[in-house]
Amino acid sequence: MLRHSPGFRPFRGAGLFDRIGGQPTVDRLVDALYDGFENDELLRPLFPRDLADGRAMQKLFFAEWLGGPHRYSEQAYGSLLHRHESVPVTRAVAGRWLWHFRQALSATVAAEDDRWTILDQAHSLALALVNRSSPAAGERRQHVALHGVGGRVVKRATDLARRGDVAGVDAALAEEPDLLIPTYAGAIMQEAALAGRADVVGSLLRHGVGADTPFRLQVGVVGRAYERVVFATPLCVARLKRRPSVESLLLEAGAREDVFTSAFLGDHSSLVRTLEDEPDLARSPDPAVDVLDITPVDHAVAGGQVEALRVLLGHIAAPWDGGARALRGAAEHGSVPMVELLLDHGADATRIGVGRWVLHPELAPLLAGSGASIDSSGSWIGAACTGNQARKDDPDYVRALLRYGARADDRRTGEPGRTSGVEALNATALHYAAKAGFLRTIEVLLEHGADPRALDSRGHTPLDWLETAARSVPRAAVRELLASQGSTKIGFE
């Protein structure tokens, strides 16, 4: 069910989202659901220590799934299947999840009819997510996963596949049969196809791995996680890397051409042919990401295919409600023609959010002219002023963000009333930049009026944050700069 359109967006156009009370009801529903998980001995260990991010994402997800705005699809990249395959979901676990969901529905959705309609769909989904049999008494084993300890076994198998070690891959599969679960098998297959290892691909096909098993492909290095990937079939990656022997093997095994591959690779003639037969495919959701609304338009953008994008948009009536994700992708590519095409087609620039588009000499004014700006939620602080994810001191980026709407005294907020997580600290850009030791960023912030005495929600100043900085941070220089309040310039190079 999860991989096919019927399971996709069951409530779209049904008016359910508005009928039950819109986003405030969905927020209460998710809060009630997560409050239930917090105290559940069976479910709680399956979730991360901090539930705040999960809650926030689920609010976006359930709003979209219940027929509301498409915000989740703009920010997520995985399928529900992928998201849950590293969570050991037994029938008992699914039953418990559903029990909490039912309680949460009873507490928040007034009409009984609506509650049953929603529960019915959630029930099918929860059962479709069952991926483990119940453990035997006393059994404790490390489950295969894409990340963490369970991810090592997948990493080993993908390394073997990349090196073309057929015997090694066969042995890994014999040792850990869970590697044949589509998510992991897809990862191994993709690695083999990318590297042109026809022998490994042949062996995986003989093990019963589907010729069309998709897996996420990294398509960029900048932007947020969900902007850097697209799901691609083995045939798609074999063509991308020009691996003819892998391609013919897959085609012999029944691999199918699809509109997402044509869009991503810019295969013009195949795209035109496909759309002549079925014009609606231009905006059909990618079944590889089940509940997400990711269409061939997003694939064309991910592949940087301007002409494919033009062809696809030609089959979609304007104005069109999608496009915010594609617009962000096109902007991250720095592609003026793609951004122009999307804006002409009605893509909503006001939803583009934080990104390096602010630095682009043509795109920044183009997008700003269509309503794009950096909002005051302080999400720009996370993107530009923290030392996380190997970010570097980037004063030009910060200056450009400030030019397009960010303010030096913005606080990194988040959900109102949140009591945990970084956002609850309600700190300023200067707090984060001080802790990261970003001297040039601090200087820009001070020039723009940032207050070095600002307090976070615990009463701490940027100087207090500096005390908790990594040892590599040049504390004396940061201290001096903060004390100068921007009036004294010092050299940093």
Using CB under 6 A, list all residues that contact ligand HEM: 43, 46-48, 53-54, 57-58, 61, 76, 80, 83-84, 87, 89, 93-94, 97, 122, 125-126, 129
Q: Which residues contact 28 (CB under 8 A, 6 or more apart)?
A: 107, 108
- Tell me the closest approach of the beta carbon of residue 76 to ligand HEM, in angstroms: 5
CA–CA gap between residue 99 and residue 317 (Å, rounded)? 42
* Closer by beta carbon to ligand HEM, 129 or else 364: 129
- Tell me the closest approach of the beta carbon of residue 116 to ligand HEM, in angstroms: 15
* Closer by beta carbon to ligand HEM, 22 or else 95: 95
Q: How far is CA 50 from CA 39, 53, 55, 61, 417, in A?
A: 14, 7, 10, 18, 15
- Tell me the closest approach of the beta carbon of residue 387 to ligand HEM, in angstroms: 23
* Closer by beta carbon to ligand HEM, 89 or else 187: 89
> Which of 39, 132, 123, 126 has its CA nearest to residue 86?
132
- Tell me the closest approach of the beta carbon of residue 35 to ligand HEM, in angstroms: 15
DSSP string for 136-175: PTT---PPP-SSSTTHHHHHHHHHHHHHT-HHHHHHHHHH
Q: How far is CA 246 from CA 158, 241, 382, in A?
A: 16, 10, 42
* Closer by beta carbon to ligand HEM, 75 or else 377: 75
Q: Is 460 helix (H, G, I), strand (E, B) or coil?
A: coil
* Closer by beta carbon to ligand HEM, 94 or else 275: 94
Q: How far is CA 466 from CA 201, 213, 294, 436, in A?
A: 52, 48, 42, 8
**Whole-angstrom Cα Rg for the chain:** 24
Helix and strand numbers, DSSP H then E, in the chain: 26, 2
* Closer by beta carbon to ligand HEM, 120 or else 362: 120
- Tell me the closest approach of the beta carbon of residue 222 to ligand HEM, in angstroms: 21
Residue 321 has phi, psi (to 5 degrees) of: -80, -10
Residue facing ligand HEM at closest CB distance? 54
* Closer by beta carbon to ligand HEM, 45 or else 459: 45
* Closer by beta carbon to ligand HEM, 382 or else 437: 382
* Closer by beta carbon to ligand HEM, 79 or else 377: 79
CB-CB contact of 282 with 296 (8 Å): yes
* Closer by beta carbon to ligand HEM, 43 or else 477: 43
Burial of 102 (0-12, 13-18, 19+ CB in 10 A): middle
* Closer by beta carbon to ligand HEM, 46 or else 251: 46
Q: Is 231 helix (H, G, I), strand (E, B) or coil?
A: strand
- Count of alpha carbons within 13 angstroms of residue 248, beta-carbon side: 2
Q: Which tokens is 72 given? A: 């989740």
Between CA 207 and CA 215, with CA 211 as vertex, the angle to 5 degrees is 100
- Tell me the closest approach of the beta carbon of residue 129 to ligand HEM, in angstroms: 4
Q: Which tokens is 420 given? A: 């945990």
CB-CB contact of 341 with 366 (8 Å): no
- Tell me the closest approach of the beta carbon of residue 229 to ligand HEM, in angstroms: 13
- Tell me the closest approach of the beta carbon of residue 285 to ligand HEM, in angstroms: 15
Q: Which tokens is 78 given? A: 């995985």
- Tell me the closest approach of the beta carbon of residue 289 to ligand HEM, in angstroms: 11
> Which of 227, 241, 287, 278 has its CA nearest to residue 260?
287
CA–CA gap between residue 214 and residue 401 (Å, rounded)? 36
* Closer by beta carbon to ligand HEM, 410 or else 423: 423
Q: Which residues contact 445 (CB under 8 A, 6 or more apart)?
A: 385, 398, 408, 429, 430, 433
- Tell me the closest approach of the beta carbon of residue 93 to ligand HEM, in angstroms: 5
